[in-house]
């Protein structure tokens, strides 16, 4: 069943000179209970802003967000408060989100206190239980953030996020700041917690390699728009959008010995255009190797093609890559 649905979400900011930065530009997507939806795109594509819109940490410019069937688009802070425990965000940089003068135990206790979890003893027990759940030693409850490694600090951030038994966790590049060797451990923790607690994730990353093994479905974003949504396996086997294809070709492939052809590397030319000056038509056309005249004038809508959604006038035919 659908846990969260976003319809035509738009988020614009005012930049210097009063011009609008079109950070999120008409995104519609659904998050199914128990799944992990990966959201992938280059930095500046609006994925963090979208994440904040989904859990209403920011106001939308237009569009709607429904959580568990309730329209939360325009709820005030006060009306959102009882829903907060169910919708949580894990940040990229746990260090920045932790108060350096409060112990790890205090940091994890804070949401419990704010939402009236129980008396001091109940909160202490819950914090200890949460330390167990995220693989931190109870002996480290009274340590300060600087005494932990990056991976341990992210575990503290995760413990805070799951403290109140959320339904949905939006994780915004939760492993990007970590050493590669630690990334896998934290990704495994996310997977274990999902199984144990029945969590639903929106997992934001700039790298298709990171979300590959944690995502059931993947939404690819470019310049504030979702350009492709597909089952993870299908997306990797046969990307339909030329941008997905280019992103995938940049992921190092492991030779599995099957003799399958390696992906041809697609090098994107040019920078990501500014979200202040969006190109007309398909916003990817200045960089797209498959662009044709139509692409410069008409914006392609997200539509269903062979079991996935793709916003492209000339999608790569699914199967043309996988079938060989
Ligand atoms: Fe490329 Fe045209 Fe498709 Fe845009 S619509 S991705 S420019 S082929
Ligand atoms: Mg970001």
Is 23 in a helix, a strand, or coil? strand
* Residue 294: predicted pLDDT: 97
Identify the domain containing residue 288 by its residue range: 2-99+164-310
CA of residue 229 to ligand 1 center, whole Å: 16
Phi, psi values for residue 227, rounded to 5°: -105, -20
Whether 129 is in a domain gets the answer no
Residue 65 pairs with which residues in a beta bridge?
Answer: 6
> Could you tell me whether strands 2-14 and 20-32 are parallel, antiparallel, or unpaired per DSSP bridges?
antiparallel
282 lines ligand 1 (CB under 6 A): yes
Ligand nearest to the CA of 49: 2
Mutate to test the pocket of ligand 1, among 227, 242, 298 (most ligand atoms within 8 A of CB): 242
Whether 226 is in a domain gets the answer yes
Report H helices in 75-204: 77-80, 94-97, 104-114, 120-133, 150-162, 180-197
Looking from the CA of residue 285, the nearest atom of ligand 1 is: 7
172: number of CA atoms within 13 Å, CB side? 21
Q: Which two tokens stand for residue 10?
A: 């738009």
Q: What is the CATH number of the domain that holds 262?
A: 3.40.50.300
**Residue with the two structure tokens 């915004």:** 172
Is 265 in a helix, a strand, or coil? coil
User: What's the total number of domains in the chain?
Assistant: 1
Whether 210 is in a domain gets the answer yes
Phi, psi values for residue 309, rounded to 5°: -115, 135
287: number of CA atoms within 13 Å, CB side? 21
Ligand nearest to the CA of 284: 1
Q: Which two tokens stand for residue 259?
A: 């003799």
Number of Cβ atoms within 10 Å of the Cβ of 26: 17
pLDDT tens, residue order, the chain (324 aa): 999 999 999 999 887 777 888 899 999 999 999 999 999 998 889 999 999 999 999 999 999 999 999 999 999 999 999 999 999 999 988 777 789 999 999 999 999 999 999 999 999 999 999 999 999 999 999 999 999 999 999 999 999 999 999 999 999 999 998 998 899 999 999 999 999 999 999 999 988 888 888 999 999 999 999 999 999 999 999 999 999 999 988 766 555 555 555 566 776 767 777 777 788 999 999 999 999 999 999 999 999 988 899 999 999 975 554 433
Question: Rounded to an integer, what is the distance from CA 11 to the centroid of its chain?
Answer: 16
Cα 86 from Cα 49, distance rounded (Å): 19
Cα 175 from Cα 179, distance rounded (Å): 8
* Residue 322: predicted pLDDT: 41
313 lines ligand 1 (CB under 6 A): yes
Whether 141 is in a domain gets the answer no
Mutate to test the pocket of ligand 1, among 41, 270, 285, 317 (most ligand atoms within 8 A of CB): 285
CA of residue 191 to ligand 2 center, whole Å: 22
Whether 109 is in a domain gets the answer no
290 lines ligand 1 (CB under 6 A): yes
Looking from the CA of residue 243, the nearest atom of ligand 1 is: 6
* Residue 324: predicted pLDDT: 33
> Could you tell me whether strands 225-231 and 308-310 are parallel, antiparallel, or unpaired per DSSP bridges?
antiparallel
266 lines ligand 1 (CB under 6 A): no
288 lines ligand 1 (CB under 6 A): yes
Whether 152 is in a domain gets the answer no
Instruction: With residue 2 as reference, give the H or E element that holds it.
Output: strand 2-14
* Residue 64: predicted pLDDT: 98
Whether 68 is in a domain gets the answer yes
Whether 292 is in a domain gets the answer yes
């Amino acid at each position: 069943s659908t846990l969260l649905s976003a319809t035509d979400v738009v988020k614009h900011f005012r930049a210097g000179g009063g011009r609008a930065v079109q950070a999120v530009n008409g995104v519609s997507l659904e998050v199914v209970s128990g799944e992990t939806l990966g959201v992938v795109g280059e930095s500046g594509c609006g994925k963090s802003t979208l994440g904040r819109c989904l859990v209403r940490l920011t106001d939308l410019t237009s569009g709607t967000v429904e959580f568990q069937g309730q329209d939360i688009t325009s709820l005030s802070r006060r009306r959102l408060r009882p829903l907060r425990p169910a919708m949580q965000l894990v940040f990229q940089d746990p260090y920045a989100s932790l108060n350096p003068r409060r112990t790890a135990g205090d940091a994890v206790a804070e949401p419990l206190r704010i939402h009236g979890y129980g008396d001091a003893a109940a909160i202490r027990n819950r914090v200890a239980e949460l330390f167990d759940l995220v693989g931190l030693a109870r002996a480290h409850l009274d340590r300060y953030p600087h005494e932990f490694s990056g991976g341990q600090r992210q575990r503290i951030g995760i413990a805070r996020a799951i403290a109140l038994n959320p339904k949905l966790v939006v994780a915004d590049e939760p492993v990007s700041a970590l050493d590669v060797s630690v990334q896998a451990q934290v990704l495994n923790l996310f997977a274990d917690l999902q199984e144990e607690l029945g969590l639903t994730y929106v997992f934001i990353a700039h790298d298709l390699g990171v979300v590959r093994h944690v995502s059931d479905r993947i939404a690819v974003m470019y310049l504030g728009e979702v350009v492709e949504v597909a089952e993870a396996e299908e997306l990797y086997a046969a990307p339909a959008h030329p941008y997905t294809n280019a992103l995938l070709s940049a992921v190092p492939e492991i030779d599995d010995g099957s003799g399958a052809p390696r992906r041809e590397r697609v090098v994107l030319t040019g920078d990501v255009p500014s979200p202040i000056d969006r190109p007309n038509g398909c916003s990817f056309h200045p960089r797209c190797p498959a662009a044709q005249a139509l692409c410069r004038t008409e914006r392609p809508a997200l539509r269903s093609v062979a079991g996935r959604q793709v916003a492209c006038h000339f999608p790569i035919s699914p199967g043309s890559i996988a079938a060989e």
